[in-house]
């Protein structure tokens, strides 16, 4: 297992927060703080659709990359309220969060639609950040590994070896998201390592070693360094703490040092 063969990625997931003037302000504050991460850690802000154009223009020429928080799987058509991968690419978006637990929980997202969105994103040239994670009840029933293996197999079904290397996996235990209850570094490492071994079974070890696996779920300025020091935790998907420039930067700097 060699951490240096893959990219460390710290991504903010802003969720449904920040109107455009606030988005501009936050990104202007983040840019100079994280400039030193260039070439060491990929820094991404995944923002609401309405902020994408602003975010791309504010971060132009900097090392902050912009992602969307969802994408539809069809190319175009009668899908009121949806946004296609081509539309995101045309704007200059590079990354997209897919299958976040909030989408699975509140918007009927299934492994089947996660798989379709992932393939559509890859086909259009976007890099997907595919979220997986167990519910508290599933962890208590000792089926975390079954749940994660099933999600990985279904969400990445028919995704080629070349494409999976462009895909980021975010391990986000649902019980840790927005709850202030972080997985311990050992718990995060255990499941991120399990995800890598599942990828090695589906593809091969070299491919699995090349995939960036993030932890997400109440990662913050205080706990990031320990989580990121683990061999299979290659980055973070950060919700609440990504809305404060100083906190987000502390996490980025932990990744630069880790």
Q: Which of 237, 251, 252, 256 binds ligand PGA (CB under 6 A)?
A: 237
What would you measure as the largest C-alpha separation in the chain, in angstroms? 48
Is the Cβ–Cβ distance between 182 and 232 less than 8 Å?
no
132 is a site residue for ligand PGA (CB under 6 A):
no
CA-to-CA distance for 236 and 10, rounded, in angstroms?
5
- Residues whose CB falls within 8 Å of the CB of residue 217, separated by 6 or more in sequence, listed in order: 133, 172, 173, 174, 175, 176, 177, 179, 181, 182, 183
198 is a site residue for ligand PGA (CB under 6 A):
no
**Number of residues engaging ligand PGA in binding (CB under 6 A):** 13
DSSP category for residue 178: T
Work out the angle between the directed axes of helices 144-155 and 185-202 (0-180°, nearest 10). 40
187 is a site residue for ligand PGA (CB under 6 A):
no
- In the annotation, is 72 catalytic? no
- Report the run of H or E that residue 84 belongs to, with start and end: none
CB of 241 to ligand PGA, least distance (A): 6
- In the annotation, is 172 catalytic? yes
Among 50-58, 171-179, 226-234, 247-255, which window interacts with ligand PGA (CB under 6 A)?
A: 171-179
**Residue whose beta carbon is closest to ligand PGA:** 239
Of 102, 109, 172, 189, the catalytic one is 172
CA-to-CA distance for 225 and 155, rounded, in angstroms?
29
178 is a site residue for ligand PGA (CB under 6 A):
yes
The interface mask with ligand PGA, positions 201-230, x = CB under 6 A, is ---------------xxxx-----------
- Binding residues (CB under 6 A) for ligand PGA: these are 13, 172, 177-178, 216-219, 237-241
Which residues are designated catalytic? 100, 172
């Amino acid at each position: 297992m060699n951490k240096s063969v893959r990219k460390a990625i710290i991504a903010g997931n802003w969720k449904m927060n920040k109107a455009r003037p606030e988005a501009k302000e936050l990104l202007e504050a983040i840019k100079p703080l994280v400039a030193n991460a260039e070439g060491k850690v990929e820094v991404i802000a995944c923002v609401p659709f309405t902020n994408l154009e602003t975010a791309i223009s504010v971060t132009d020429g900097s090392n902050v990359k912009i992602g969307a928080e969802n994408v539809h799987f069809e190319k175009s058509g009668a899908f009121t309220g949806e946004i296609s991968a081509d539309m995101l690419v045309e704007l200059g978006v590079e990354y997209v969060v897919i299958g976040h637990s909030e989408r699975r929980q509140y918007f009927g997202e299934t492994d089947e639609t996660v798989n379709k969105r992932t393939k559509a994103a890859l086909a259009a040239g976007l890099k997907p950040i595919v979220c997986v994670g167990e519910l508290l009840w599933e962890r208590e029933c000792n089926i975390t590994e079954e749940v994660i293996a099933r999600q990985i197999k279904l969400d990445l079904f028919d995704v080629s070896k070349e494409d999976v290397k462009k895909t980021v996996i975010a391990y986000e235990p649902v019980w840790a998201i927005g709850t202030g209850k972080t997985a311990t570094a050992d718990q995060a490492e255990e499941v991120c390592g399990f995800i890598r071994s599942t990828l090695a079974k589906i593809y091969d070890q070299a491919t699995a070693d090349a995939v960036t696996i993030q932890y997400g779920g109440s990662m913050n300025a205080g706990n990031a360094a320990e989580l990121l020091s683990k061999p299979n935790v290659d980055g973070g998907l950060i919700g609440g703490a990504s809305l404060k420039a100083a906190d987000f930067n502390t996490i980025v700097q932990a990744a630069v040092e880790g």
